[in-house]
Structure 1
Amino acid sequence: MDLPFQIRKIIHVDMDAFYASVEQHDNPALKGKAIAVGGQHRGVVAAASYEARKYGVRSAMPSKTAKEKCPHLIFVPPRFPRYKEISAKIREIFYEYTDLVEPLSLDEAYLDVTENKKGIESANQIARDIRRRIFEETGLTASAGISVNKFLAKVASDINKPNGQKTIHPDRIESFLEELPVEKFYGVGKVTANKMFTLGIFKGKDLKKKTLEELTRLFGKSGSYYYHVVRGVHNSEVKPHRIQKSVAVERTFSEDLMDDQQINDKLESLSQELHQRLQKNNILGRSLTLKIKYKDFSLFTRSITQEEYFNSPVKYLETGKKLWELRPFDKPVRLLGLSVSQLNTEEKKQVSVQLKIPFKEFERD
């Protein structure tokens, strides 16, 4: 395969059922049991242990549905300060190998190890070392994917989960992608996958038969993405400092909100919390969004953008009330959220080194 891009060594590290694994590690009585991190009565599942996943319990699933699928499911309240503490330890391990680390969340990150601080030629070896260090220092397991770009590394990290790793070697990219089910392509969600199925697209080789024009017509801007990634082309670099695009606060309520006074009280509380969070990080934004989730889980969002930055909880509250008046339904509300975007944070240009590395320096798994 003639690869039309420079070869890099990218690792995607993904912790295994992170929140749930932390809870099982800190409380040995939970080990081996089906647990869900999240609110039992009104919330949604933030994370599920592998024991719970066997019953179909997944993150973002309503707790009621999770309990129906797994009657013996144990709900554990989330402890985000603890998760952040462990995440910080894991990132310190990453930085021992490279400064080109792009965190995606508390439990996953991309690493560019084309050039690394320890001078290790094998990206496979680096991934093994990192996973071993994580286990020794936190007691938790991680999986990893290794390849020439972020897309392939992300796909690879999911193949041998949990507690495994997979390398997609440059000369195997074409055959790997041709046989990969389209629902396994990173960026192809359930709805898109179903649409592809109706078009007779089940594997990468089927997707590859479509022209750029066809895919753009069928999937809009995403069509170009699908056209290129099925050919192994994904030029996005590992960005060490991700620019924050929004700041949000939201609450799921133990009882549905029914009247305007309840809504106003909650909006006032959210406005204060949002202001404190923004002030703490010296952030301002010009766009405010109200998020409403109704009792039936239908979702409504509406935004207002202004020339000047929002700068006080009073402004957030006043604008939030205006957005509330634009709601399409008068139905019981289970969740409210406020978020600010179009921030005053300026994007910093990052310099990352891209070197053409001989294929032989990739160690096969």
Structure 2
Amino acid sequence: MRKILHVDMDAFYASVEQRDDPALRGRPVVVAWRGARSVVCAASYEARTFGVRSAMPALRAERLCPQAVFVPPDFPRYKAVSRQVREIFLSHTDLVQPLSLDEAYLDVTEPKIASPSATATAQAIRAQIREATGLTASAGVAPNKFIAKIASDWNKPDGLFVVKPAQVEAFLTPLPVGKIPGVGKVMQGKLEQLGVLTVGDLRRFGQEELQLRFGSFGAALYRRARGIDERPVQPDQPVQSISAEDTFATDLPLSALEPEVRRIAEKAWNASRKTERIGRTVVLKLKTAQFRILTRSLTPESPPDSVQAFTEIAVGLLQRIDLPDDTRYRLVGVGLSNFHDTEEVPMQPGLFG
């Protein structure tokens, strides 16, 4: 039986800004660049009471909360704080799996520092974060990652929630089925048609029936409804994808996108050189002016071995966009995915191979 923590910093970027500027404390703070194309990176709890959320357009946030203070993001500063927090995690266990700058899973089944329980370890970590950074963190304690992540959100901000093994079924039963990872609005609608509104409702269905209806995801639904999650905490997850994207100042037609694709492909390729793994699949992402997202991908017989080869594939994917000519695009992204270790990738033989 594992003892898993999910630790999540509270309104991280906004909290750092409020910590470093006393004039922002107690005020609705929105971390975002101003502008028609900007999106919210983070919102303080004071701003959230007005409905402001991360990833929403900054213009909408401004309409919802006209009195909000907009602060441009300072990622080097946030990364510095994140490193402080990571050091605290690592003082308790080597099994730390970061999910982003502000959250991570920890396996404290066998902690470095003697502790009477996983709950006590979580309390100690939260206290050390507060002392070292002046910020608060919320934590969930559970037998696996799935339940720990839900639990960490239970008593936010500055909260701790524990789900013991014997409490798993009672904890999950009344939860909305949307709490299960992967159950978005579309899947939620399909489940509602079956009378499934809660995790308890989902538990009425057997694995075979769920797989028949939803394929491999049906098996995942069956396991999650019963609180089963055997995924280990993985400290050094191998790179799976690397990408870069940009939102244009004005919407562009498809015919004007090639220079943008070339520019962004170079950024993505340079980022991919920081790993020794090899990416095999080139991905092009476009977002229309109506916020429709399109992706096109190609896995060549031999992985791209230069920025030129990578870029030409990305540019070629533009030919596979078949929307009307008057469609305008607001964003383009280029990525490399399907990464493998070097020895796993068959390379193109040489001319005399």
Q: TM-score, normalised by structure 2?
A: 0.90
> Is 185-194 or 224-233 further displaced after alignment?
185-194
Q: CA deviation at 1:282?
A: 4.2
Residue 346 of structure 1 and its aligned partner are, at CA, apart by: 6.4
> 1:299: how far off?
0.9
| Residues in 1 aligned to 2:236 and 2:93: alpha-carbon distance in whole angstroms | 13
1-side partners of 2:139 and 2:266: how far apart?
Answer: 40
The DSSP-based 3-state class of the residue aligned with 1:14 is strand
| Counterpart code for 1:334 | R
Which sits farther off after the overlay, 302-311 or 114-123?
302-311
Distance 1:346 1:55, change over 3 A: farther
The corresponding residue for 1:8 is 2
Which residue of 1 is the match for residue 335 of structure 2?
339
* Corresponding residue for residue 285 of structure 1: 279
Quick check: 2:239–2:275 contact (8 Å CA) kept in 1?
no
Q: Indicate the SS of the match to 1:247.
A: strand
2:91 matches 1:96: yes
Using the alignment, how far apart are the partners of 1:288 and 1:187 within structure 2?
Answer: 24
Choose which of 301, 307, 315 in structure 2 pairs with 1:307: 301
> Structure 2: how far apart are the matches of 1:143 and 1:128?
10
Return the alpha-carbon distance in structure 2 between the equivalents of residues 217 and 71 of structure 1: 50
Q: Distance in 1 between matches of 2:333 and 2:136?
A: 33
Q: SS where residue 73 of structure 2 aligns? A: coil
Distance 1:294 1:216 in 2: 34
Q: Would you say 1:318 and 2:335 are equivalent positions?
A: no
| Aligned with 2:194 (options 178, 194, 199) | 199
Change (3 A) 1:280 1:182: closer
Query: Between Structure 1 and Structure 2, how many residues are aligned?
Result: 341
Q: Which residue does the alignment assign to 1:167?
A: 162
Q: In the aligned structure 2, how far is the partner of 1:172 from the partner of 1:301?
A: 42
- After TM superposition, the structure 1 stretch with the greater mean CA deviation from structure 2, 103-112 or 309-318, is 309-318
Matching residue of 2:102: 107
**Pair 1:220-2:233 in alignment:** no
Paired amino acid for 1:35 = V
Residue of structure 2 equivalent to 1:363: none
Answer whether contact 1:13 1:109 (CA < 8 A) is retained: yes
**Equivalence for 2:349:** none
Cα pair 1:243 1:347 within 8 Å, conserved: no
The aligned runs of 1:248-259 (5 Å cut-off) are: 248-258=243-253
Q: Does 1:149 align with 2:132?
A: no
Counterpart secondary structure, 2:61: helix
**1:283 shift after superposition:** 4.7
Q: Report how far residue 180 of structure 1 moved.
A: 2.2
Q: Deviations over 1:83-124 (max 9, x none)?
A: 222111111100100011111111111111110111213111
Distance in 1 (CA, whole Å) between partners of 2:128 and 2:57 is: 35
Distance in 2 between residues matched to 1:282 and 1:212, nearest whole Å: 39
How far the C-alpha of 1:14 sits from its partner, in A, is 0.8
Distance in 1 between residues matched to 2:138 and 2:29, nearest whole Å: 20
Identity of aligned residues (%): 46
Q: What letter matches 1:266 in structure 2?
A: E
Instruction: Report what 1:354 is aligned to.
Output: none
Partner of 1:120: 115
Aligned pairs (5 A) from 1:21-36: 21-36=15-30
Cα distance per residue 1:321-361 (max 9 Å; x no partner): 2111221223222111110012243699xxxxxxxxxxxxx
1:181 Cα offset (Å): 2.5
Q: Which residue of 1 aligns with 2:52?
A: 57
Residue pairs, 1:127-146, within 5 angstroms: 127-146=122-141
**Residue pair 2:278, 2:342 contacting (<8 A) in 1 also:** no
What residue identity is the alignment partner of 2:109? Answer: T
CA distance in 2, matches of 1:104, 1:116: 20
Aligned pair in 2 of structure 1 residues 233, 281: CA closer, same or farther (>3 Å)?
A: closer
1:235 aligns with 2:251: no
Question: Which residues of 2 match residues 265-284 of structure 1 at below 5 A?
Answer: 265-284=259-278
Q: Is the contact made by 2:6 and 2:152 (CA closer than 8 Å) also made in structure 1? A: yes
1:183 aligns with 2:191: no
Q: One-letter code of the match for 2:53?
A: R
Q: Secondary structure at the match of 1:325?
A: helix
Unaligned runs of 5+ residues in structure 1 are 1-6, 349-365
Larger RCO, structures 1/2 (Cα 8 Å, 6+ apart): 1
Q: Are the counterparts in 2 of residues 131 and 143 from structure 1 also a CA contact under 8 Å? A: yes
| Partner Cα separation in structure 2 for residue 214 and residue 171 of structure 1 | 27
The answer for unaligned runs of 5 or more in structure 2 is 345-353
